[in-house]
Amino acid sequence: MDQTQVAKELGLSCMLNTEVGAVLAVIRRGPESSSQFYHHPEEHCDVSILQSLKSLRAFLFNPQQEWRRIDPSLYLSPFLDVIQSDDIPATATAVALQSVLKVLRLGIFDETTVGAKDAINSAVTAVTGCRLERTNLVSEEAVMMRILQLLTAIMRHRASVLLTDHAACTIVNTCFQVVQQSASRGDLLQRSARYTMHELIQIIYTRLPDIEVKDWENSDSDTEDNNLDSGYGIRSAVDIFHFLCSLLNVVEVETEGLTSQTADENVQFFALVLINSSIELSGDSIGKHPKLLRMIQDDLFHHLIHYGACSSPLVLSMICSIVLNLYHFLRKSIRLQLEAFFSFVLFRIVSPGSSLQLQEVAVEGLINFCRQPTFIIEVYVNYDCDPTFRNVFEETGKLLCKYAFPTGGLSTSIQIQALEGLVVIFHNIADHIDKENDPSPTGPYPVEISGYRPFWEEKSKDDDVETWVDYVRVRKVQKRKILIAGNHFNRDDKKGLEYLKISQLISDPPDPKAYAVFFRYTPRLDKTMIGDYLGDPDEFRIKVLKEFTDTFEFTGMILDTALRTYLEAFRLPGESQKIQRILEAFSERFYDQQSSEIFVTKDAVFVLCYSLIMLNTDLHNPQVKKKMTEEEFIRNNREINGGNDLPREYLSELFHSISTNAIVLHGQSGAGAPVEMNPNRWIQLINRG
């Protein structure tokens, strides 16, 4: 080595020597913040810790080779031992944390250094295992601040690419623990903890676009990847994203008729900000990893829709931003979820009944979507022209027109916003019109439906623009006719179904599947009339019942969840024979799709379904004074499974599910009945995808 390099190496030795001396000095001073030194420090802490520090000091000025070639564990381990020790005072722990922080920031080693992987992961183990409850409040906060700084330094270090997925998750979990503990401490510590959490999320998800999709992501296996040399990656990204989504799971309790949220809204908003940051940094790459995509489609959207409809303006604003980002990056993968968000959050809040502040946020959310260059066209084609979806574009326009209409006096802010939204829509439509080359007639475009077409199966056959436009126009006409048929059906079922034939939406002779799809997906149909039709003994209607039941996917569901999902689509009729026919169709479908093979025959499913309905009536009918017990329910269902008993745990789970959450058998069922996004309806939505 030349003289310059020798001087540099000696400088590093001096720096490490200073850190060793600082730690030893604080240890000798003892647990209290006094200047009285202990003559026998070995009586107050682990002797091996002192010995390792002294051995390191002896090694420092005779390393035999450059520091960047030395195993980092040799000079990090003594400090890490101090951090993990329960016998060391908090002041010494803080100094040891500062020493490790200095080593990392100086970049003495990197990812190419021998032993770097073990060293960096050992540092994570030591720091995240550091006990925070020490002596006094000031010392504890000092340790917490050092931990936050060190966690960030580890993730920013060049050797961080060697961290395992477990280590990355542990770092985030430890940081969040500090966030929680800081809530009862100083404001500075809390702000620092939240800022550190932001930094960690940014570091982790900035890497996502560079991570290759692995085969394990397409399976449900949780086994570790044998090749750990590549460092943390998609596994930790999935686990951390799941953790962030779980923070949105606010528990609600009812008190004197009111619903109150037991979790701090600040935590919920904080989680939303972190989720939004992870989506922004990941970009469209987040949709390339199947497990992350499924989590967004199911867990995340479920939380966003559930809490968006009953949140504060601040939380709703952040939810709208998240959904807008998801639309930008994943629009092709979240078609069903976007419709649900508009239907159950934005449209509901904009309707009368919500506070003015919430309505303003919802209108702003709608306008932000409309500002996206292709949003208007995409929404019209994918929703308004699809018979199985809601008219999202049409309803958006109607709502904005309603709020923009002057009511006399000075214009309100929401009126101005709504008018701005309408202008944005008109501009977007005008920008996509090619007036010079557009061969379309200036008047209404004539659309004819020649012959029967199974509307639920139709797809555009080629990529030709003119053919595709004709296809979309036909779909829109079909949808209008289906909605008209639905209105007729609610007044007279025979007239409604006859209108389907006249409109050539039903084949001649009639196709049971077309009727089934009409009942299953047409919005605002009277559910009581659907149930009466499906339970009828007519041979053709029995075929419709079979096709209708086959539109449901029950794979992986427990029986009561499947039954709830099924009965969401119609109201069970009162006549016992009709109930029997419907439950027989359901039992056959559920039996064919069961994966656990609990039931040996479909008859066992049928008997248990009847038993569940009786239990539901018994437990939730106020006129029934003596309620059925769990033991009575289990006893009533003995030997129904081909002469054998069903598993007791399975029956017990069904009993508790029914007792805590009634199956809706009756109630509002007309065209105007209010609809909430409940768990069963969410399961239906996910299964449609």
What pLDDT score was predicted for residue 263? 46
What pLDDT score was predicted for residue 664? 81
What pLDDT score was predicted for residue 596? 77
What pLDDT score was predicted for residue 612? 95
Pick the closest to residue 504 from 528, 485, 486, 529 (CA basis).
485
Q: Mean pLDDT across the stretch 195-218? A: 85
Kindly state the tokens that stand for 37: 């030194």
Is 378 a known active-site residue? no
Band of residue 28 on the pLDDT scale cut at 50, 70, 90: confident
**For the segment 310-349, what is each residue's pLDDT rounded down to a tens digit?**
889 999 999 999 999 999 999 999 999 999 999 999 999 9
The b/e string for 208-245 (b: 16+ C-beta within 10 A; e otherwise) is: beebeeeebbeeeeeeeeeeeeebbbbbbbbbbbeebb
Label residue 259 exposed, middle or buried (CB < 10 Å: 0-12, 13-18, 19+): exposed
Q: Which residues are CB-neighbours of 565 under 8 A, at least 6 positions away?
A: 552, 554, 557, 680, 683, 684, 687
Residue with more model confidence, 432 or 541 = 541
DSSP-derived secondary structure letter, 255: E
Helices 90-106 and 116-128: angle between axes, nearest 10 degrees: 150
What letter represents residue 267's amino acid?
A: V
Cα Rg for the chain, rounded, in angstroms?
33
pLDDT winner (highest mean) among 192-206, 211-225, 444-458, 516-530 = 192-206
What pLDDT score was predicted for residue 251? 46
What pLDDT score was predicted for residue 226? 41
Residues 295, 287: Cα–Cα separation, whole Å: 10
Helix (H, G, I), strand (E, B) or coil at 441: coil
DSSP-derived secondary structure letter, 259: E
For residue 342, count other CB atoms closer than 10 A to its CB.
Answer: 23
Band of residue 252 on the pLDDT scale cut at 50, 70, 90: very low
Band of residue 351 on the pLDDT scale cut at 50, 70, 90: confident
Q: Which residues are CB-neighbours of 323 under 8 A, at least 6 positions away?
A: 304, 338, 341, 365
Q: Mean pLDDT across the stretch 456-484? A: 79
Kindly state the tokens that stand for 402: 């309603």
Residues 445, 470: Cα–Cα separation, whole Å: 10
Residues 609, 342: Cα–Cα separation, whole Å: 35
**For the segment 117-146, what is each residue's pLDDT rounded down to a tens digit?**
999 999 999 999 987 554 567 778 888 999
Catalytic residue among 575, 631, 632, 639: 575
Q: Mean pLDDT across the stretch 270-295? A: 95
Residues 12, 243: Cα–Cα separation, whole Å: 40
- Indicate if the pLDDT at residue 631 is higher than 90: yes
Residues 531, 526: Cα–Cα separation, whole Å: 9
Q: Which residues are CB-neighbours of 516 under 8 A, at least 6 positions away?
A: 544, 547, 548, 550, 551
Label residue 588 exposed, middle or buried (CB < 10 Å: 0-12, 13-18, 19+): middle
Label residue 299 exposed, middle or buried (CB < 10 Å: 0-12, 13-18, 19+): middle
What pLDDT score was predicted for residue 191? 92
Note every long-range contact of 118-122, with CB atoms under 8 Å and residues 24 or more positions apart, other chains counting. 118/73, 119/71, 119/72, 119/73, 119/76, 119/159, 120/72, 120/154, 120/157, 120/159, 120/160, 120/162, 120/163, 120/167, 121/162, 121/163, 121/164, 121/167, 122/73, 122/76, 122/77, 122/80
Helix (H, G, I), strand (E, B) or coil at 15: helix
**For the segment 406-449, what is each residue's pLDDT rounded down to a tens digit?**
776 677 889 999 999 999 999 988 887 765 555 555 555 566 66
- End-to-end alpha-carbon separation of the chain, Å? 65
Residue with more model confidence, 201 or 37 = 201
Q: Mean pLDDT across the stretch 186-215? A: 90
Kindly state the tokens that stand for 544: 């419709």
Residues 142, 585: Cα–Cα separation, whole Å: 66
Helix (H, G, I), strand (E, B) or coil at 298: helix
Kindly state the tokens that stand for 3: 């003289």
Q: Which residues are CB-neighbours of 483 under 8 A, at least 6 positions away?
A: 522, 523
What letter represents residue 330's amino acid?
A: L
127 in Cβ contact with 151 (< 8 Å): yes
Helix (H, G, I), strand (E, B) or coil at 258: strand
646 in Cβ contact with 604 (< 8 Å): yes
Residue with more model confidence, 501 or 326 = 326
590 in Cβ contact with 559 (< 8 Å): yes
Q: Mean pLDDT across the stretch 629-641? A: 94
Residues 440, 435: Cα–Cα separation, whole Å: 9
Kindly state the tokens that stand for 317: 């604003």
- All structural domains of the chain: 1-161 (no CATH), 164-222+230-333 (no CATH), 551-688 (1.10.1000.11)
Pick the closest to residue 482 from 510, 457, 512, 504 (CA basis).
504
The fraction of the chain above a pLDDT of 70, given in percent, is: 85
Q: Which of 116-125, 495-504, 533-542 has the lowest mean pLDDT?
A: 495-504
What pLDDT score was predicted for residue 227? 43
Mean of the per-residue pLDDT values for the chain? 86
What pLDDT score was predicted for residue 231? 74
- Indicate if the pLDDT at residue 154 is higher than 70: yes
Residue 377 falls in which region: left (phi positive, over 0), alpha (psi -120 to 50) or beta: alpha
What pLDDT score was predicted for residue 260? 41
Residues 16, 109: Cα–Cα separation, whole Å: 14
DSSP for 71-92?
Answer: -THHHHHHHHHHHH-SSS-HHH
Q: Mean pLDDT across the stretch 595-602? A: 87
Band of residue 264 on the pLDDT scale cut at 50, 70, 90: low
Q: Mean pLDDT across the stretch 33-56? A: 66
What's this model's pTM, rounded to 2 decimal places? 0.85
What pLDDT score was predicted for residue 34? 46
Give the helix/strand (H/E) hosting 51.
Answer: helix 47-60
DSSP for 359-403?
Answer: HHHHHHHHHHHHTSTTHHHHHIIIIIT-TTS--HHHHHHHHHHHH
